[in-house]
Amino acid sequence: MRKYAASGRPGQITSQTFTAHPKFDPTTGDMCAFGYAAKGLITKDMVYYEISPENEIKHEVWFELPYYCMMHDFGLTEDYACFHVVPIVSSWERLEERKPHFGFDTTKEVYLGILPRRGDAKDIRWFKAPNCFASHVMNAFNDGEMVYFDVPMAKNNGFPFFPDVHGAPFNREEAAAVMTRWAVNMGDKSDAFHSMTRLSDFVGEFPRIDDRYAAMPYRHGFMLAQDFQRPLELPNGRSMSGLMTNLLGHMDHATGKTKQYFTGPTSTLQEPAFIPRPGSVDEGDGYLVAVENMLAENRSDLVLFDALRIDEGPIARMPLELRLRGGLHGNWVPAAMLPDQPRA
Ligand SMILES: [Fe+2]
């Protein structure tokens, strides 16, 4: 297991921004990441970095997006970096009118940019798709020149806090995202997608994997899901405002089968993270950990599942001493990967 350096050479990164969703290449330990609006607000400039565990930039590519938009996450494969351009857009006019920074534009096309990881800006291909919404990426992989990119995808805007730029009201039905596999062929002269394939019926977001299988063909995916048909029982005065995520979903891409865990009528879950079982190498052999917000009791538990048996419920429950608000994202790293910490 690679240990990461505590500090690096200052001044290497010249981008003004850095993504919240870097990927770690499990083969090299390199951190692969990007910055958008990298030369300033509302600019189309992007930069892609590959950074070693010793904090040295090994590869750096600057390029421009088809249009300025919020670039929140991306996909990494063995040979390619994949950037989905979805019209969560902005402009100086929006800012001068004091509108929310971003708005969703249903009239713009979606792009998937594929950058060969050992290539340069001139090697990027931009594939086009009709308007849709997508944000967090489950995983990506390539088989030769075929590139596969798995993402929860919705017909329309999934972010009510970034309103429609043409004034349309938020459409909750069209905002429902389901896991979809985008495929493009780098060997194809066409700039059209090769295919879009639905992978499960879960409606949700916050997809996660066994990160030892990041950027490569993989079998197991996990996500938070929403089932509005399930009962909701909260005491008077309490609400499940914000994002209700009452299901944990597991999808087996090899069999197409799914498993789910319903967290009960008074709780909501935050993003799960995968913990490999010590000594294991097989994909999915490990645990899922997530925060459960117990809204009726006004407290939070850390819940632990056998990752491939989430339908059997938590195998451990750790009450937290303070209530955690919906922080959405969660992560886990083994202590052995971290730089040595000063001990109290
Ligand atoms: Fe995020």
- Look at residue 312 in the predicted model and tell me its pLDDT: 98
- Domain locations along the chain: 1-203, 219-344
> Using CB atoms within 10 A of its CB, is residue 335 exposed (0-12), middle (13-18) or buried (19+)?
exposed
Q: What pLDDT shows up at residue 134? A: 98
In three-state secondary structure terms, 82 is strand
Residue 94 DSSP one-character state: H
pLDDT of the residue at 8: 76
CA 187–ligand 1 middle distance (angstroms): 31
Ligand 1 centroid, distance to 231 Cα (angstroms): 28
Would the pLDDT of 234 be above 90?
no
C-alpha 235 – ligand 1 centre gap (Å): 31
Q: Is the dihedral of CA 226, 303, 277, 137 positive or negative?
A: positive
CA dist 189 → 85, 128, 273, 315 (Å): 20, 13, 39, 51
d(CA 238, CA 234): 6
At 246-260, the pLDDT tens digits run 999 999 999 999 999
Distance separating alpha carbons of residues 45 and 32, to the nearest angstrom:
17
- Assigned token pair, 317: 């429950």
Region 278-283 average pLDDT: 95
Strand 88-89 versus strand 110-116 pairing type: unpaired
Q: How far is the CA of 134 from the centre of ligand 1 (A)?
A: 11
- pLDDT tens per residue across span 11-25: 899 999 999 999 999
Least confident piece of the model among 78-82, 263-267, 333-337: 333-337
Per-residue pLDDT reduced to its tens digit, 215-226: 999 999 999 999
Predicted confidence band of residue 342 (pLDDT cuts 50, 70, 90)? low
- CA 236 to ligand 1 centroid distance, Å: 32
Sequence-distant (≥ 6) Cβ neighbours of residue 202 within 8 angstroms: 178, 179, 223, 225, 247, 249, 251, 258, 260
Tokens of 286: 């490990």
Alpha carbon distance 279, 61 (integer Å): 37
pLDDT in tens, 108-140: 999 999 999 999 999 999 999 999 999 999 999
Give residue 267's pLDDT: 92
Q: 95: which DSSP letter?
A: H
pLDDT at 153 over 90: yes
